[in-house]
Amino acid sequence: MKAFRNAVELDEYLASLTDEDRAQLNPNIGMVDQVRKAQAEGISDRESVLGNKARWVPHLGLPEWVRLGMYDVLIRWSEGRALTCSHQPSIDRPQPVYAAAWKPGVVVCGQCQPMLRVIGLADRTCDGCGHECMGMPDDGILPVSAFTGALAYQVGVCVSCEDEMRRVEAEAQGAGPQE
């Protein structure tokens, strides 16, 4: 597989892929079934924590800051440069793993998710724009998890960044034929 120096390169590469390219990529990656199984496990975990159903979003349907943050931690992890929990989850052993915008470069296993927990002001700060949310009902922070493979990348967004996320997603869904 191609090596990427940074998240922007990976992002550009993924954006350039056609559906055919993707289909060809899969057999080379190997472990696809294991990753899929781990991803399904991770998704159902996040669904039960967040209380809503996951949906498939095209590559460009995520705001750039979410994509780049997610790929950055994925690259660091795949190169052994991420900080991990003591179980040392590895990209070579598919299992659901978790990362968060507020803890850059940290990857933990399911059991160690509490390591990513934040409290107080950090818990109320939007990862998209830095806004300090005052709380419900008008100024809440929404937790969102995006998956790439079996890695769940978590962000907390304010009301206006949530609107922006929806706009970006709607635009990408309407942009042309998608999988």
Judged by the rule CB under 5 A, the positions of this chain that interact with Zn ion are 85, 87, 109, 111-112, 126, 128-129, 131, 158, 161
DSSP collapsed to 3 states, 139-165 = ECCEEEEEEECCEEEEEEECHHHHHHH
Nearest residue (CB) to Zn ion, 9 versus 162: 162
**Nearer to Zn ion (CB atom), residue 10 or residue 156:** 156
Residue 61 DSSP symbol: G
Q: How far is the CB of 5 from Zn ion (least distance, A)?
A: 28
78 neighbors 84 (Cβ within 8 angstroms): no
Q: With respect to Zn ion, which residue has the nearer C-beta, 60 or 133?
A: 133
Task: Name, in order, each residue with C-beta under 8 angstroms of 78's C-beta and a sequence gap of 6 or more.
Answer: 91
When the beta carbons of 63 and 128 are compared against Zn ion, the nearer one is 128
Minimum gap (Å) between residue 84 Cβ and Zn ion: 7
Q: How far is the CB of 161 from Zn ion (least distance, A)?
A: 3
CA of 4: how far to CAs of 15, 101, 105, 112, 164, in Å? Answer: 14, 20, 16, 28, 28
d(CA 106, CA 129): 21
**From the CB of 157, what's the least distance to Zn ion, in Å?**
6
Nearest to Zn ion of 146, 161 (CB atom): 161
**Across 34-87, where does the E strand assignment appear?**
83-84
Dist. CA 27–CA 17, nearest whole Å: 15
Shortest Å distance, C-beta 163 to Zn ion: 9
